[in-house]
Homo-oligomer: A and B are copies of this chain.
Amino acid sequence: MLTREGCPKTMLSIKDALEALEGRWKLLILFSLQGGPKRFKQISKEVGGITDKMLSKELKTLEANKLVKRETHDTFPPAVEYSLTAHGTSLEKLLEELHYWGLAHRKEVMGK
């Protein structure tokens, strides 16, 4: 446990994290990339329900936040792959927590 008082410093770090991970897609994209480097279409299929425009935008933001790297392989036609940076990999525990909590939440709220 962190604190029993609302500590402004902790609030700030949680705000930082939420800002970098905001929206409904980023954590799903990062989770998909935990399975190893992937191409755009593979990510799109795994995440499900995301438009190409949105995926492209989210990948750019994740790159800017040093969570994802984009590599172009020198083939013909050139192949572009996305993978997690070390910093992106550091979200593994958070994603795991989110997964287990999501399971518990489904039981609690939806009774399934």
Contacts and interface: CB of A to CB of B under 8 A. Distances in A.
Contacts of A65: 105, 109
B102 A14 contact: yes
Of the four ranges (under 10, 10 to 19, 20 to 34, 35 or more), the interface on chain A belongs to: 35 or more
A109 B36 CA distance: 23
Contact of A6 (B11, B19, B46, B66): B46
Nearest to A36: B4
Say whether chain A's binding surface is mostly helix, strand, loop, or mixed.
helix
Nearest to A106: B16
Contact of A11 (B31, B93, B106): B31
Nearest to A38: B6
Contacts of A34: 1-4, 6
